Structure 1
Amino acid sequence: MRLVLASASPARLSVLRGAGVEPVVRVSGVDERAVTASLPDPSPAEVVTTLARAKAEAVVDQVAAEFPEAVVVGCDSMLWAPGEQGDELVGKPETPELAAERWERMAGGTGQLLTGHAVLRLRDGAMIAGHSDHLATTVRFGRPSRAELDSYIATGEPMKVAGGFTLDGFGGWFITGVDGDPASVLGISLSLTRSLLSEVGVSVVSLWNHPDAVHDRAGGRSR
């Protein structure tokens, strides 16, 4: 049984590796705008869960022959935060200018980071079960100075991540707190993923690295 991560996110990969799982990474290439546009008047939760499922489903054919016994995990994160005309659901800012505008609105306030999760189970190369859900985590934003914000945007990081911020990168300097699951802000909630794995009949411990591998990795960190 292998866990396939349908995401190019380094943060999601790091979370899973830190929790004892070495995923197979397959990037979905899903057209997120097209998927979202196909939904009639969706709720924010429906958007992120539908995108997560679409990403997981998109890689099934790629991995079915290579890993006929597998679980595919797809995730999608977006921020529910103040916009020009009230709260809005936003993904990655496309330009430095948009990133700056969003940060100026978010500074000193809060936003809801919504992360959709989908787990699909493959047996003998065929999908036999799937479940999806989402998690909402409140993020409290600090007030970076203009110079700090300009420097942060110049790193290029805000344009690569949902909401234009990170918790584990440069952006972490400007986050004052998180109410909820911090791992969800990094892109994947271990708690919710474990629950969804259980729904498709897979115990998370069956996906953990061999104890010797975990011991060797821990020893490597301590040297």
Structure 2
Amino acid sequence: MTGPRLVLASASPARLRTLRSAGLDPVVQVSDVDEDARLVAAQEVYGQLEPDQVALVLARAKAEAVADTLDDGLVLGCDSVLELDGETHGKPADAAAAAQRWRRMRGRSGVLHTGHWLVDLRDDADGGSGATLGAVSSTTVHFADVSDEEIDAYVATGEPLAVAGAFTTDGLGGAFVRGIEGDHHTVVGVSLPVLRELLAECGVRWTDLWSRPAT
């Protein structure tokens, strides 16, 4: 017997890896959300968004876009942004932007916000709640005082261009992070404790999503 299907509305290899390491085996279906357009629409309704609100709005947009194409399962959307000096930073536009970002971050601290949105598409007969709900996990990140040469070498790898905040803790950038305060999974892109709580609100036990070998 297996639990409900979990659909990950994200192309992030780190998120998928994290979920699989935790015993889950989600199906990946990437959304085609126009993030800039969604943020503009949200700002027209709610006014200027705080960094954590940006992460939640985009997570919801991704989850709901994928949910609109399905008729069953649990759909999870996530989005991460870095808050530095009250400003919101996603993936850097190019290598020059990544290097400039790191020259601002080095020796300082920022807050990595990861928004999560869960849509329950399960049928009532299967325990479906019809819920659509979300939460944000925020973690303070302390960056090392890296040199210009280290920044240039790191940017040249291409890794900072593919991730929010232009850094990782589970890859080449791990040596450039002195420490974190909060859930380290948040920095990778999906907070397992937050996801567990969202699932519980939908009536789903975390352990029911652990993948099981075929019998």
Taking the aligned partners of 2:142 and 2:70, their CA distance within structure 1 comes to: 39
Taking the aligned partners of 1:51 and 1:183, their CA distance within structure 2 comes to: 19
Deviations 1:92-150 (A, max 9, x none): 00011111111101100000000100111012399811110101100000022221111
Taking the aligned partners of 1:207 and 1:91, their CA distance within structure 2 comes to: 30
Give the letter for the 1:174 counterpart.
F
* Deviation, structure 1 residue 17: 0.2
Q: 1:59 aligns to what SS in structure 2?
A: helix
Question: In proportion to residue count, which structure has more strand?
Answer: 1
User: Taking structure 2 as the reference length, what is the TM-score of the superposition?
Assistant: 0.91
Q: Which residue of 2 aligns with 1:79?
A: 82
Give the letter for the 1:167 counterpart.
T
Q: Which residue of 2 aligns with 1:166?
A: 168
Which 4+ runs in 1 deviate beyond 4 A?
A: none
Taking the aligned partners of 2:32 and 2:81, their CA distance within structure 1 comes to: 17
5+ residue gaps, structure 1, are 214-223
State percent identity of aligned pairs: 50
5+ residue gaps, structure 2, are none
Taking the aligned partners of 1:45 and 1:170, their CA distance within structure 2 comes to: 26
Give the letter for the 1:159 counterpart.
L
Q: Which residue of 2 aligns with 1:25?
A: 28
Taking the aligned partners of 1:31 and 1:200, their CA distance within structure 2 comes to: 28
Q: CA RMSD in A?
A: 1.6
**Is structure 2 residue 144 aligned with structure 1 residue 142?**
yes
Pick aligned residue for 2:185 from 183, 186, 192:
183
* Deviation, structure 1 residue 50: 1.1
**Number of paired residues?**
204
Which aligned pairs between 1:80-119 and structure 2 lie closer than 5 A? 80-82=83-85, 87-119=86-118
Q: 2:145 aligns to what SS in structure 1?
A: coil
User: Taking structure 1 as the reference length, what is the TM-score of the superposition?
Assistant: 0.88
